[in-house]
Every structure is written in structure tokens, then in C-alpha cells.
Structure 1
Amino acid sequence: MGASLSNLGENGSGSGGPGLGDIPESCVACVFLYLSPPEICNLARLNRSFRGAASSDAVWEAKLPSNYHHLLQLLSNPVVCESLSKKDIFAFLARPNPLDDGNKARPRFVFSTAVIIEIWRIRLLVWVDRNSGRVCMSISAKGMAITGIDDRRYWNWVPTEESRSFGSHWIRVLTYMVILDPDLVLLLVQIWAPHVYTSFFVCRFSVVAYLQQIWWFEVDGSVTFPFPPDIYTLSFRIHLGRFSRRLGRRISHFDHTHGWDIKPVRFQLSTSGGQHASSECFLDVTPVADANGSYKRGCWIEYKVGEFLVNESDPPTEVRFSMKQIDCTHSKGGLCVDSVLIMPSEKRRGGSLK
């Protein structure tokens, strides 16, 4: 039986008749239209016919967002992408692509002795989900307006590998030298390759906003983007307490964590099309957590604000969002703000909006 099954992948079958390799590529491509991209890539390894169908532009164009041409203009050089196949375009869009306030991210140059450093401040990241082909977005804390963020008595920027913003800073070195980033630093980069003048990425790192203590807590933001028609869910990603690593172990510190169990935090969103959503939540409910064995402290939690519907990608949709606790009768602190996630809603099934 095993010997007969091993022949099904190519032209022969177990009995010497037609096999999977005899199926025309056009027929295989029609089947691939109903499969997800990972399933298509797995089946492409089966035989030559499946491999040819898995490279068809018709198959991959059906997996791309309806306005992928517009996305390419925002995310990359459209001239370069014109020569790419639809499969390569999907692979490009499936990677997190940086934007800055709706435009392509621009580097800021830092000049020093014999060194030029590009520091890319990434505020927005856009990518296409590998399974569904739907557009997702992450807005880092750097892209939000946070009350008191410039006063270190209240807020600090904390470097971390746990951010969902996929690297809010990218550093690229153009010449040889030991450098120390004067801006957020906490990073020493040394390149042992003299006379290297070709630019290359050295590293990328993320930061989250950590609140020590404040009375007026307010985080606001907005984004304007040509979202493809879909239903989207907006969430804040928050962590109670400050975390660090010691001897390879993750440790959470709650010295400054207080005030989140007295009054709820209010989340809001609105769109340029007149849609509104809001929710309220106590971020710290220690007595309830002790009773139920479910703790909010020490872990990242995505707080859902609401959903919004996009019917057309032109004109672009503006989404405004906020997170507030402005009751000044008590202080609050010990909170990390990572990012805002705009993800496709699970309410959408198949190819229609419900």
C-alpha cells in the first residue's frame, strides 16, 4: 500500500492509471482559489502540476486585498513592484511594512565622527494576514498623544522584545565605527568590518510607554488609511506592572501599580463615517481575581474598544481612538502601553460582510 501511495504524487497512480500529476494546471488553480495561502504552499510541493498552479497570478490575485495597488504605493516603490508576480506581492505585503503617519517611514540622520546613522521611527505597521489576506495594522505608543509623556517624573520609554509593534525603531549604519544611539539608548552597536560603506540594517528594537504615576491619564491617537472593505476590531494592548528579565526569567514589578481598581478606564473610537464605539473596564480587580484565580497583573491584555465597518477604501477612513481615566481624585500608575491593534473582525465569514 505504501508503494502505491508513493506514486500518486507524479504521473502514475497505484494501478498504472492517471495520477495527480495528470490534472491540468488550470483545474488545480481553480481548486486553489478555495484554499488558504499556507495550504497552497504546502500542496505546491506535491508535484510539477501543483507547483505551476501555485505560481499562477490568478490564484494569488484572489488572495490579495481589493486595493492592493494602493497599498503598494503607500508601502513601497511602485515601480519596483510592477515587475513582481502576484505571489511575490503577497509575500511582500505579508511582512510588517512600516509607515509614518500615513506616509512611508522617513529616516532621521544622526551625524557623528566618521559615522552616519539612520534612525527610523516606526509609528505604523501594516501587513496582510497570511491565512486570510485581510489587512492588519499596529500603531505603536510612539504614534499616540500621551499626556505628560515628555516628563520623566510620569512616563518613561522602556525597551522590550515583547512589543506587538514589531520594532518601533530601526537603526541602519552607513559607515564603520562604534556607535551609541544618543536618543533612546540603551544599545551599543559595534561593527567589525572596516571600510564597509554599503548600508544594512544592524538591529531593530521596540519600546513601550511606562507610566510611573499621574493624576490625569489620557492616551489619544488617530490614523487615516485606505482600509479595504471589511469589519475591523480596535484594541489597546496594555500591561499592568513593569517587567524585566533576570537570569533568563521574566519578572514583573508592581511597585508603582495602583489606582486602577477605583474607577474604570474608558475606551472610545470614532470614524470619519460617523461610527462610534466605547467601553469601560477596571484594569486592576485584585479581589475578584483572587476569588476566580484569574489575574490581570503581569501579562499583556488586549482590551477591545469596539468595531467599525469600512464599505469603500476611497476616500481613506480616519479612525480616532482614546483611553482615559481623568478622575483627579486619585493617582494611578504602574502601567505599560504598547500599541493599538486594528485587526479584521471574526464576524466576517467567507467573502461577504455580515
Structure 2
Amino acid sequence: MRLSLDSTFYLGRTERKMAVKRCRTTTICCLPEDCLANVFALTTPKDVCRFSAVASTFRSAADSDGVWERFLPSDYRDIISRSIDGPDSLLRQVQSKKDLYLRLSDHPIIIDSGLKSFKLDKGSGKKCYMLPARDLYIVWGDKRRYWLWASHTKTSFSDVAQLRNVCWFEIVCSINTNMLSFDTNYAAYLVFKIKSGRYEFYNQPAEVCGGIKGLEVEKDSFYLENNTELLKLREDGWMEVELGEYFVKGGEDDTEMSLLEMKGLRSKSDLVIQGVEIRPKECT
């Protein structure tokens, strides 16, 4: 016998809860698939994956192209077209928009002639970029006496920057905020390795700053030591340290983040720089 919500008044407390739950589940499951898809598209990728596991009737709607198209960036076709492997190479590897989303989340693509890598934050669908060392401004980076450029097996970029010996250390990255997801708090992270463990940054404060180019920027300083909470080991085996953060509203000019170490003038060496990753801070 099917119960209405009114009839549950005459049941015990536990029985009422179970009856209401069954009634609500039945009502939701009876919705048309396109209606379910519209509801799911208003949530998040993580939520949709949960819905898919709740009931078999949800799975088709949760996996539909209409849902996952909403989670992909509006300009994803343009971004894919800039892949160094060509857009067809990626599209041949996927069979649905959900496959494409997961592919872009798990496997960054190299774009813009090798000067950037692009991926999606898996939980939110926000854009993430990595700028390789070649796309950074590195003081004396073109002087072989101070820096070497060499290939590295643990990166998809053509080469990395290896610090030989400098007293003045300065690295600056810049990105147009219109490339990023709007209404999102982003942070920039220097991705690096220490070649020999004696890179002479100990007890020397490094200064970081970030903000809109040409305007006043926020500054902070820290000690680039192995025991600091700012340094983190990444899943790919590289280290990272946050350079700064910025909330992207949309429509701004270039945002510039920098790492400056100019206060201690002792020689420094054996730092290997892969690049700077720019990703949503709330999704780390």
C-alpha cells in the first residue's frame, strides 16, 4: 500500500522517517531524465558523481553530455584547439563530455606552443595553468654563467631552469586574469626541486608579492627552509611554495606574482625550476 505524506502522522517516529524518505526518493526518481539533468547541472562535479552512485535511475542523467557540458569552461574548445598535439588527438580519446572533463582533470595538456599547460580542478571544474620556466622572467636567466637550461624527465615541458650561482635572485610570472575562472580565489605556486640539498637559501628571507600590474601590490616574506609549512611536496615529486593569491572577479588586467630574494646576497645554487602553477586556492 502506497503511503501519502499525510498518512505518516499515524506511524511511529522511525516508521514516519522511513516512509517520508521512501516517498521523496520515489518522487525524485519519477522525474524525467532531462529534468534530473537540469537539476544536477546546478550542483558540482563532485555532487553529480555522488548522485550517480545513489540510484541507477540517476546514473543516465548524471552521465549525460548536457550536465558535463555545463561543468566544462565555456571556452574549452578554443583551449583544446591550442594543444600542441592538435584538438583531434584529445577528442579521439574520449567518448563523452564526462570523459573529456575527467581527461582534462587527470592529464594536463600542453598548449600555446609549449608555453603553458592546462587542466581542470577535478572538484570544481575551475581552470588551472602551469607556466614553464621559459615563460617566466628570471633575472640573468639568459646568462649561462648563472643559469642552465636542460631537459628533465619529470616534466612535460621542453626544459627547466637550473640555478648555477647567483647572489641576486628574482623570478616574476604574469598571466592575464581573463584566462582564469571568474569569481575565484587563485594562488600562484613556484614548482621546483633542490638538486643537492645545499642551495644556500637557509636563514635568508625571500620576499613575495602579488597583485595587478601597475598598481600597489601586497608583499610578504618567509624563509625558504625545508621545515616551513609553506613548502609542500607535490604528488609528482616536485616541491612547491605559494607566491601569492588574488581573487579574480573578471575583466581585470594582467596579474603579476613574483618571488624576490634580494636581502641576503650570499651565493645561491642548485635550485631547479619547472615553472609556476596557478590554480584555485580553495580547491587545494
Task: Please confirm whether the aligned pair reaches a TM-score higher than 0.5, indicating the same fold.
Answer: yes
Matches within 5 A, 1:162-181: 162-163=154-155, 167-169=156-158
Matches within 5 A, 1:54-203: 54-65=62-73, 68-69=74-75, 71-76=76-81, 86-87=97-98, 90-91=101-102, 93-94=104-105, 95-100=107-112, 105=113, 122-163=114-155, 167-169=156-158
What is the match of residue 171 of structure 2?
A: 219
Distance 1:304 1:297 in 2: 9
Deviation of 1:343 after TM superposition, in Å, equals 1.1
What is the match of residue 5 of structure 2?
A: none
Change (3 A) 1:277 1:332: same
**Number of equivalences:** 246
Distance 1:137 1:221 in 2: 12
Asked if 1 retains the 8 angstrom alpha-carbon contact of 2:173 and 2:276, the reply is no
**Which has more strand, going by share of residues?**
1
Which residue type is aligned with residue 134 of structure 1?
K
**Which has more helix, going by share of residues?**
2
CA deviations on 1:12-51 (whole Å, 9 max, x unpaired) are xxxxxx7997653245325533654356457657877434
Distance 1:297 1:42 in 2: 30
Distance 1:54 1:60 in 2: 8
Distance 2:245 2:231 in 1: 23
Change (3 A) 1:30 1:296: closer
What is the alpha-carbon root mean square deviation over aligned residues? 4.0
Deviation of 1:323 after TM superposition, in Å, equals 1.6
CA deviations on 1:125-171 (whole Å, 9 max, x unpaired) are 122212211111111112112223333332223544444xxx113xx
Distance 1:261 1:88 in 2: 45
CA deviations on 1:103-141 (whole Å, 9 max, x unpaired) are xx2xxxxxxxxxxxxxxxx22112221221111111111
CA deviations on 1:179-236 (whole Å, 9 max, x unpaired) are xxxxxxxxxxxxxxxxxxxxxxxxxxxx432212112212122222432212111222
Asked if 2 retains the 8 angstrom alpha-carbon contact of 1:215 and 1:327, the reply is no
Distance 1:38 1:343 in 2: 18
What is the match of residue 275 of structure 2?
A: 339
Asked if 2 retains the 8 angstrom alpha-carbon contact of 1:231 and 1:347, the reply is no
What is the match of residue 58 of structure 2?
A: 50
Distance 1:263 1:311 in 2: 35
Gaps of 5+ in 2: 1-25
TM-score (norm 2): 0.68
Distance 1:34 1:74 in 2: 24
Change (3 A) 1:341 1:297: closer
Name the SS for the 1:151 alignment partner. Answer: coil
**Residues 1:270 and 2:211 are matched in the alignment:** yes
What is the match of residue 283 of structure 1?
A: 224
What is the match of residue 13 of structure 2?
A: none
What is the match of residue 310 of structure 1?
A: 248
Deviation of 1:264 after TM superposition, in Å, equals 0.9
Structure scoring higher RCO (CA < 8 A, sep ≥ 6) equals 2
Change (3 A) 1:226 1:272: farther
Asked if 2 retains the 8 angstrom alpha-carbon contact of 1:232 and 1:345, the reply is yes
Which residue type is aligned with residue 319 of structure 1?
T
Change (3 A) 1:149 1:51: same
Change (3 A) 1:297 1:308: closer
Which residue type is aligned with residue 257 of structure 1?
Y
Is the deviation greater in 47-56 or in 218-227? Answer: 47-56
Change (3 A) 1:161 1:131: farther
Identical-pair percentage: 26
Distance 2:281 2:144 in 1: 37
Change (3 A) 1:126 1:329: closer
TM-score (norm 1): 0.56
Gaps of 5+ in 1: 1-17, 106-121, 170-206, 243-252, 349-354
